Structure 1
């Protein structure tokens, strides 16, 4: 038997109630009969003209955003919107001319700055703060789909900025990175690691694949960051049970390292990753190479810089609190894409904010002759010798 809709159930109840009223009605009281029929007709008309019965929408008020948010100091504005006022204006300038905000639709869009504030507030909120109705009540907009439409629209514009703000460094920029970090770990271009992003509920299908070793449903993101903590490459969407090494080995960086790194250049990873010429890792506990003191000294020094990727993840999740628990159930492929887009938007914004903060700093100057790496600097033994010599100086 097909499932009855809510409107049908309400109509059935109205008819039964009308029949009951007519049964108990005194046949001589015409005025009461007219009133009963009038009330029934009015209720039925309302029902037939309402798509999903009677919807009591969120009361709309723009008082908070006009009279409170507008007068916040920089610190409070940053706390609510997750970016400072100046940063907000710069992000707004990057997306304001996007075609998604200039449609030929007959319905006028909400002001662009309001749309961006709503999207940033959602990205920065966690727990109950992500509730559609709470966001709608706070900003004084409809909750029947308006919030979702606004978010998708802003995301679409920000995702178009990916090539400008989240990209692998070219040969010249890699040389700048090598020059800037030559006294730390020669030849190191970046730092790689994976991070779990917890899901609020189990996926609808194959949920066991998303159950991670941390005993939670999650999806994985794997990223490479540079010494400024900018994300230079990110892989998003693997189920939580997939090991970091497997994600890496399936990546273009692992399959075609020559496209991403020049001779003697490498990236740093933890012991979960395989040791390769272009990927150096610390010594594992069962290693018998060198002495115990040398291995411990190497690992301590190595971790001091490799931890930058963990710092990067920490900053990302603290700035955009929604990443602490994603409100996606993974029902279908479209839902998965929306979840991946959500994470990618946070990564792009993370890089934008770092660029805003560092663009006035003096860039690394590379004067001829350019800094060249010592031969074999992408081997663990070479790095161990560098560390030992570094300690003596």
Structure 2
């Protein structure tokens, strides 16, 4: 027991065929709608992300163990990020990709490390120009609450899933997707509505 550290025999979980390969070949080339359903981005956006991330040192190692290609690692991470509940469990993602659970965890860490590097963030995330802000303000004044016209950046309707049903008024948190969640809205800049 001291040598093996396991009391019971370890049986490997047989892996089924990977759906990952099908998504990156058949769906990407012939069914962009299904590709987007699986990875939550268009094939064009996916290719741009791969091109922007593929030279990051996190995807290279000094050992003799080759990593998966960057497009496969990005696809695994995007699939995981684009699902919730049981579909986002490490085991479900591992089954979808035909990988081990530890590999899914490692891939997620690598992709997030690459995405959060200052170089990528500076090239991929930018604040809108003054003209873009003004266009957004005009749209808000025309299509939404007129008193919100000075806002230029809204995130509306985002559901944040809760781990369990809240004790107080739990039924109020049951959403259209049959989950318990909070719905929130973010407005920028933060100005008091009564001031305008």
Q: Same fold (TM over 0.5)?
A: yes
1:19-49 CA-to-partner distances (Å, cap 9, x unmatched) read xxxxxxxxxxxxxxxxxxxxxxxxxxxxx43
For residues 360-379 of structure 1, what are the structure 2 equivalents within 5 Å? 379=195
Three-state SS of the structure 2 residue aligned to 1:197 is strand
**Which ranges in structure 1 are unaligned for 5 or more consecutive residues?**
1-6, 9-47, 203-207, 226-266, 270-278, 284-378, 381-393
Determine if the alignment matches structure 1 residue 103 to structure 2 residue 66: no
- Residue 152 of structure 2 aligns with which residue? 190
For residues 343-358 of structure 1, what are the structure 2 equivalents within 5 Å? none
- Conserved 8 A contact 2:36-2:43: yes
Equivalent in 59, 78, 81 of residue 120 of structure 1: 78
Shift of 1:124: 1.0
RMSD value, Cα: 3.8
Shift of 1:224: 4.5
For residues 19-58 of structure 1, what are the structure 2 equivalents within 5 Å? 48-49=3-4, 53-58=8-13
1:108-152 CA-to-partner distances (Å, cap 9, x unmatched) read 212211111110111111222112222212211112x11111101
Equivalent in 140, 147, 155 of residue 112 of structure 2: 155
Higher relative contact order (CA 8 A, sep 6+): 1
Query: 1:198–1:117: structure 2 CA closer, same or farther, 3 Å change rule?
Result: same
- Conserved 8 A contact 1:61-1:139: no
- Conserved 8 A contact 1:58-1:137: no
Q: Give the total of aligned pairs.
A: 176
- Conserved 8 A contact 2:94-2:104: yes
TM-score by length of 1: 0.37
Three-state SS of the structure 2 residue aligned to 1:122 is helix
Query: 1:101–1:187: structure 2 CA closer, same or farther, 3 Å change rule?
Result: same
- Conserved 8 A contact 2:35-2:43: yes
- Residue 42 of structure 2 aligns with which residue? 84
Query: 1:219–1:150: structure 2 CA closer, same or farther, 3 Å change rule?
Result: farther
- Residue 313 of structure 1 aligns with which residue? none
Determine if the alignment matches structure 1 residue 199 to structure 2 residue 156: no
CA distance in 2, matches of 1:67, 1:191: 37
Determine if the alignment matches structure 1 residue 70 to structure 2 residue 31: no
- Residue 180 of structure 1 aligns with which residue? 135
CA distance in 1, matches of 2:78, 2:32: 15
